[in-house]
Amino acid sequence: MKILLASDGSQYSELAAKFLTCLNLSSDDEITIFRVVYWIPFLYDKESYFGALKAVKEEIAPKVIDSVLNILKDVKAKISTAIIDGSPEQCIVDVAAESDMELIVMGARGITGIRSFFIGSVTNSVALSASKPVFITKPPGCNKSKNLKILFATDGSDHSIVTGK
């Protein structure tokens, strides 16, 4: 299985990485740890903006990747990494499609209601627009000492029947 693990460095994306350690992945499986550096317009000149973006990409983003690599150190799957800049929602969806990923794994903060409207939700946007299945983890995650229990809800549609296979 080819898995795209989107990570922003938050405890929620680290929880998503920890969830992958609970799966019985083999050396035939592949995980790509994916970090998007989001460009936010600064109030400064163009050179200052690009300097700040470069610093984030060169200093902070690799630390996020290293943290996730440490979590996944005992996973048998092949692990690769990628850091790009752009809109997280669009980059995650595009890279998953272009790289022929079979699953996108993300953590969710659990923001709901009016707050999610103003704050926005990368996870929600990816779940709605991705052409690939999206697995969203939420606290408390999984416990390796117990058997993993999954509730598969179906409405009988063609999509849910394919998902169940």
Task: Give 114's pLDDT tier (boundaries 50, 70, 90).
Answer: low
Tell me the domain boundaries of the chain.
2-164
2-164 belongs to which homologous superfamily? HUPs (3.40.50.620)
Amino acid letter for position 60? I
Residue 65 CA to residue 83 CA, distance in Å, equals 9
Task: Please compute the mean of the pLDDT values over residues 82-107 and round it to a whole number.
Answer: 92
Residue 127 CA to residue 106 CA, distance in Å, equals 9
Most confident of 2-6, 118-122, 151-155: 2-6
Helices (H), 99-157: 113-119, 122-129
Q: What is the pTM of this model?
A: 0.79
Task: For residue range 26-71, list pLDDT tens digits in order.
Answer: 999 999 999 987 766 555 555 665 666 666 667 777 888 899 999 9
Q: Which position has the higher pLDDT, 69 or 141?
A: 69
Residue 20 CA to residue 53 CA, distance in Å, equals 30
Handedness of CA 161, 22, 96, 93 (dihedral sign): positive
Please check whether residue 123 is in contact with residue 108, taking contact to mean a CB–CB distance below 8 angstroms: yes
> Does the pLDDT of residue 115 top 60, yes or no?
no
CA dihedral 125, 90, 14, 61 (to 10 degrees): -150
> Does the pLDDT of residue 101 top 90, yes or no?
yes
Please check whether residue 163 is in contact with residue 132, taking contact to mean a CB–CB distance below 8 angstroms: no
